[in-house]
Structure 1
């Protein structure tokens, strides 16, 4: 490991096997969230590079889909092995990109490995069905075929993990990909694509082009794209959907959430409070975070007291300093957004922990402490808005029907959480929550490779994970053969 960690950050885009050190979209000056200072530069793609990347993916598509499925499986497994071998390097890249403490930064790499290995297992298990012959003398069967070139537009908060999650299933299905990482964390996916070439992937199967709005618009409106997989915010998804509609390009959207966490009076409060402390993971920059916390009125005061104390015990610090448990927000815009939401919430709730940007040795970075605002109402701004920061808000409730109605009274539908020792109550409540995923008694909902994951309402549509996630990237073809008359 070099002492100059920033030398690990890739400085080129990757189209086919060509590494581009200049591009038409300008130059990105990447700011380290923990220092507020520029730490690296990277060329940004424009429309011209998008055309080149799509052309490379189209040229590689017949090669990749013609490979034996078992060969695609082995290539995916080899890439997973290389990511595992380079885990320390890629974890360092993730800490540099996002400011996450290095002691926690292995999870995106591990996540990518898990997704790629799981996807590899499906590569040779995708097949159609035969349909019984009817009296009309026709033989019918279905075949599954790769969609084609997939545009995978990644979220910033786990770059190489997001790469494995989005690209792995598409590659297993026989598709080729053009990956557009966020400008906030472009380096991990580029490094993963470089390793894919080492793993034996044909050039052009994986292309990574960081870019701004111009590149994004060119990619999602490109007639050579067969499907779009986007993880990010709802407003951007709506713009993508409008552009994709011009070519009737299908989309899969994994969007934001404002997940309800319901703690009943018979719950294990220690488990609920421990679960709430997940707000410190990635500084609360998670779509499945249970940040809208409904707590039964009979335990409301005790819950708030204990949670405030627990949040105050979390150590916020620089990513490569021992003992840091939580890092910074991703940029100045995030600090401004989170600070504004909390400041306005002071007029209708009580700030019990945190609440203000940190100074001292952390003043140059984008550090905001774990924050608790208690006693808000479900129609307040803090209850309606996805904070995407380390902010929890508690709302009291009195009965089961009331809290279910409040939990569902949101435009989002990604995740929900229930804490109760009454298993009958759990089974009553879970089906009534209008979300795609529910965690019970401390289980944290996250996108895992073996389980279908996806949202409802403004949290998106389509599934990631499991067979359902791989099938997002195949088309089903029906074949009918007229049989001759028996002689």
Structure 2
């Protein structure tokens, strides 16, 4: 595992410079597995955001002046460098927020997205259409926005670098990338790799920041667009701040995903997938967490038995151990909040506690922020437990009797990011998937975000998409050019 000197501040990356002294006090980074500091992080304020935006605008002019072959090859070269450092990036991901190294393969996504979007650089982005009543030449072109701001959550800096930075660069933009001060280490290393791969200094700036720095980025007049991944409360503040300059904002927000287990599902497979897509993956700290498991009443008991067996046999421990499947939650405050959610659900009768619900007190884990994976049965879908994103290793089992009831319960939430369906009936799979109010529907599998497929939410789970042609176009603007030939 990569060693980090807590006394040496992790500096911002602006242009080609690492700034360890900034206008704000540094942030002590706490490793969730031990509760102890493992790094000191320099934070960006308004002054540093000014510097980063200026560097980005200058680098963007240099970037777009290169021909398409050069830009394509440089992005492929960056993917090659990332591939050479996959293990290092995964380790830094683990040190960032305690995600088990067995789950820390987000760096692989970074490699995949860079290669995919590099392929768009030299492909046609324009079209020509006939104009009514004229022989004029009517061109529709797509151009870069300029300097864009990308704001990542603590639980996914490399995922956001993959899904947002890769298409932004392919579209011809420069990026000011703000990882959370809670988990900036992998993102900072990615910025260094951009320089090592030969990208123009300032094309990718990495500026860890808390609320004040993030607000300065969103309000900056030099930023052409903001892409934010995180929670709804912060998204509302960003939308209000961006309104001053009419800066467009794309959001990928939270979820309260339904996972429907029909009576014909392969229960052993569904139980294993549901455990890993639910409380186990990143300790439930994922927008894609399938936290509401809807089970047909005729297989409810059989599924529950299998599901609890998977949960209770899970290897919990040191996130740096490849055998560990389940790690800590992000902080002491998160631990207390999640325990409060569980306590309220039990006290209010919203559900029956089937397993978990306690902080782990094992000597090897007591200093960290470990919480048992928790399952509540026969949960009322109208309860706060079922309607509010917990962002922790807590899932609800909800029985249903008919397909229509399952769809109604699944859609009865303000969110719509992901939905999951387990069935062997192809007609049912297609019919139900089309009725679910969700940006992504996964049939007989967990969430597998790919660069080829658009990803984003319905309702309060956000607007806009990452991935695919839709994700590329989030970072482009359209120009119509009409040439008179008459």
Q: Give secondary structure in 2 for the equivalent of 1:26.
A: coil
Partner of 1:227: 225
C-alpha contact 2:315 2:323 (8 A) present in aligned 1:
yes
Partner of 1:407: 410
Give per-residue Cα distances to partners, 1:273-299, cap 9 Å, x unaligned. 011111312111111121101111111
User: Is structure 2 residue 399 aligned with structure 1 residue 396?
Assistant: yes
Give per-residue Cα distances to partners, 1:196-219, cap 9 Å, x unaligned. 111111111111111111101110
Give per-residue Cα distances to partners, 1:238-285, cap 9 Å, x unaligned. 111111111111111011100011111122111210111113121111
Partner of 1:63: 62
Deviation at residue 132 of structure 1 after TM alignment: 2.1
Q: Give secondary structure in 2 for the equivalent of 1:298.
A: coil
Give the alignment of 1:124-139 within 5 angstroms: 124-132=122-130, 134-139=132-137
User: Is structure 2 residue 372 aligned with structure 1 residue 373?
Assistant: no
Counterpart CA distance in 2 for 1:256 and 1:114 is 24
Give TM-score scaled by structure 1 length. 0.96
Equivalent position to 2:447, from 436, 445, 448: 445
Give per-residue Cα distances to partners, 1:90-125, cap 9 Å, x unaligned. 2221111111222332x1111111111111111111
Counterpart CA distance in 2 for 1:370 and 1:8 is 34
Give the alignment of 1:116-265 within 5 angstroms: 116-132=114-130, 134-265=132-263
Counterpart CA distance in 2 for 1:9 and 1:102 is 24
Partner of 2:439: 436
C-alpha contact 1:220 1:228 (8 A) present in aligned 2:
yes
Quick check: 458-467 or 267-276, which moved more?
267-276
Give per-residue Cα distances to partners, 1:67-87, cap 9 Å, x unaligned. 112211111111111111112
User: Is structure 2 residue 382 aligned with structure 1 residue 383?
Assistant: no
Quick check: 167-176 or 266-275, which moved more?
266-275
Q: Give secondary structure in 1 for the equivalent of 2:368.
A: coil
Counterpart CA distance in 2 for 1:92 and 1:136 is 61
Query: Structure 2 vs 1, CA of residues 87 and 386 (structure 1 numbering), >3 Å: closer, same or farther?
Result: same
Give per-residue Cα distances to partners, 1:322-354, cap 9 Å, x unaligned. 532111111112211211111112132211111
For structure 2, list consecutive stretches of 5 or more residues without a partner in the other structure: none
Deviation at residue 321 of structure 1 after TM alignment: 3.3
C-alpha contact 1:9 1:187 (8 A) present in aligned 2:
no
Partner of 2:481: 479
Segments ≥4 residues shifted beyond 3 Å: 4-10
Deviation at residue 455 of structure 1 after TM alignment: 0.3
For structure 1, list consecutive stretches of 5 or more residues without a partner in the other structure: none
Counterpart CA distance in 1 for 2:162 and 2:375 is 33
Q: Give secondary structure in 1 for the equivalent of 2:91.
A: helix
C-alpha contact 2:6 2:37 (8 A) present in aligned 1:
no
- What is the Cα-based RMSD across aligned positions, in Å? 1.6
Counterpart CA distance in 2 for 1:13 and 1:47 is 13
Give per-residue Cα distances to partners, 1:169-204, cap 9 Å, x unaligned. 000000000000011111111111111111111111
Give the alignment of 1:301-312 within 5 angstroms: 301-312=301-312
Partner of 1:109: 107
Partner of 1:290: 290
Counterpart CA distance in 2 for 1:354 and 1:200 is 49
Give per-residue Cα distances to partners, 1:129-180, cap 9 Å, x unaligned. 1112554332211111001111000122132232122211000000000000
Q: Give secondary structure in 1 for the equivalent of 2:299.
A: helix
